[in-house]
Structure 1
Amino acid sequence: MTIADLDRELVQCRACPRLVEWRERVAQEKRAAFADETYWGRPVPGFGPTDAAIVIIGLAPAAHGANRTGRMFTGDRSGDMLFAALFEAGLANQATAVSADDGMKLYRTRMTAPVHCAPPQNKPTPEERDRCAHWMHAELELLAPSMRSVVALGAFGWRQTLHTLAELGWTVPRPRPVFAHGATASLARGQQEIVVFGCYHVSQHNTFTGRLTLPMVVDVLTAAAEFAGVDPGNSAASSGDEPFAS
């Protein structure tokens, strides 16, 4: 299986009735500002090259962001901060992401999430989280040969990242590292080492209150790129998605 194969299967998933009902209702009712747009309204696959050295792990698609555009972190305020930081860190070719066909490319970086459907109130249930977990398991295993750094956004992303990697056979330090902005955790599997970097989530609450600023995100991304040996802005490196039939 390739990541393109995985994505083709993922976008057809209807395993969680509550999430299916919500994502499709939002896609029909829409937000007034996007009334003329056709919403994606399906599970949202990861975005970025399939040989990424850096993997960014969030929470779940936003109802009127990725659930509308069909691409992770695209079309909402959280994504505005994240893509601007990726551009400043030399890991993206442009600073703004508004649609799936806007020309955005990521350099050696891929983004994904533990939950692939937009949940009501941005809160998936534990059962929904667990039912969705096999998608991220499969994606991280397919990325393992090239993966060197993981950036976990928020405490939820941090916990799910360490839990998933432990289940995939990576040795997680004991006691398990506690989330904090700027925290790091080194994991090993065989001869391979990766480092997980903690970053406050790029949520509106964190950015509007000043708890998280653009330079803070850039600093974490830069540290992750340095550990991964990624040359920022090197467009000769892989920078696109393997296409899949939607």
Structure 2
Amino acid sequence: MTNPRFVPPGTGWPEDPATPATPVARGPQEVVDLARDAPGLADLCARQSVCRACDRLVEWRERVAVERRRAFADEDYWGRPVAGWGEPQPKIMIVGLAPAAHGGNRTGRIFTGDRSGDWLFASLHRVGLAARPTSVRAGDGQRLIGARMAAAVRCAPPANKPTPAERTTCLPWLAREIADVSPYVRCVVTLGGFAWQAAWPALKQAGYGLPRPRPPFGHAAELEITSPAGTKVTMLGCYHPSQQNTFTGRVTERMLDDLFTKAKSRAGM
């Protein structure tokens, strides 16, 4: 395809969860309704992947898909919301803030196609939570093992900063996804302080019991929360493997490996 505004549903993009018949949310109330009424996790992810509820985010993600970065000028961009991805019955749920403009917005998979994702998937592979050490783009054969990941905001935001209103609009997608996998999840890992904050209302909306006040974020911060069914679940904070953090040594391979090894232990894996 040539300079698409976005990849239309059902046109053969690898791992596209949607079809031309997938309903599209065009405002905050429709996000609430479509998230609530999705018949299952697969349909929920399909609906996430075609959402058009936030005008600023729609304009930005599609403009990036047309203008592109020089290094990716010959590639087709996903240019749509990036749905949750991984096992449907995970023991570990990994939550980030939002896809990157030339990462997930390009590749169609969260934490894929940029330096942060390179660090993340290499660590997940080393500890046995990913089948491959790299995640290049949707359809590359990568898969998560006992884990699932999603972003609090499904569209790449300008300057990597979604507005409070955009975070609120996107909240029902994450809350419903967390609720659907809650019977299986025994550990929730948040990547970065913003994800730690954004996961809180989603967990509450999904029916989790949470301590009050919210504990401060930190790398390896650990607390106990309670699933909707009353099961004890561990929540772990993890510094985001951004270039700023990895270049300065604030995050090291050992730190990530230790964190995800702990997540596996807390999840009983």
- Specify which of 179, 195, 201 is matched with residue 234 of structure 2: 195
Paired position in structure 2 for 1:11: 49
Q: Distance in 2 between matches of 1:124 and 1:143?
A: 25
The corresponding residue for 1:116 is 154
- C-alpha RMSD over aligned residues: 1.0
Q: Secondary structure at the match of 2:211?
A: coil
The Cα shift of 1:15 comes to: 0.4
Q: Is 2:180 aligned against 1:180?
A: no
Code of the aligned partner of 1:136:
L
Q: Does 1:219 align with 2:255?
A: no
1:31 aligns with 2:69: yes
Q: Distance in 2 between matches of 1:98 and 1:48?
A: 15
- Within 5 Å, give how 1:200-211 maps onto structure 2: 200-211=239-250
Equivalent residue for 1:127, pick from 165, 168, 175: 165
1:175 shift after superposition: 2.9
Q: CA deviation at 1:33?
A: 0.8
Secondary structure of 1:74's partner? coil
The residue that corresponds to 1:164 in the other structure is 202
Unaligned runs of 5+ residues in structure 2 are 1-38
Moved over 4 A (4+): none
Q: Which residue of 1 aligns with 2:134?
A: 96
Query: What are the Cα deviations for residues 125-163 of structure 1, in whole angstroms up to 9, with x where unaligned?
Result: 000010011100110001111111000111111112222
Q: Residues 178-220 of structure 1, C-alpha deviation per residue, up to 9 Å, x if partnerless?
A: 1110101101144311110000011111111110111101111
Unaligned runs of 5+ residues in structure 1 are 231-246
Which position in structure 2 is the counterpart of 1:79?
A: 117
**1:146 aligns to what?**
184
TM-score (norm: length of structure 2): 0.84
The question of whether the paired residues in 1 share the 8 Å contact of 2:179 and 2:207 is answered with: no
Which residue of the partner structure matches residue 20 of structure 1? 58
Provide the secondary structure at the position in 1 that maps to 2:44. helix
The separation in 2 between residues aligned to 1:50 and 1:35, in whole angstroms, is: 34
Q: Does the 8 Å contact 2:172/2:202 carry over to 1?
A: no
1-side partners of 2:203 and 2:103: how far apart? 27
Distance in 1 between the 2:50 and 2:203 partners? 25
Counterpart Cα distance in 1 of 2:48 and 2:117: 22
Residue type of the alignment partner of 1:7 = C
- Higher RCO, Cα 8 Å, sep 6+: 1
Alpha-carbon offset, residue 47 of structure 1? 1.3
SS at match of 2:86: coil
- Residue 236 (structure 1) aligns with: none
Secondary structure at the aligned position of 1:43 is classed as coil
Structure 1 residues 66-99: Cα deviation after superposition (integer angstroms, max 9, x where no partner)? 0000001110001000000101111111111111
Q: Distance in 1 between matches of 2:78 and 2:219?
A: 32
Percent sequence identity over matched residues?
Answer: 53
TM-score by length of 1: 0.91
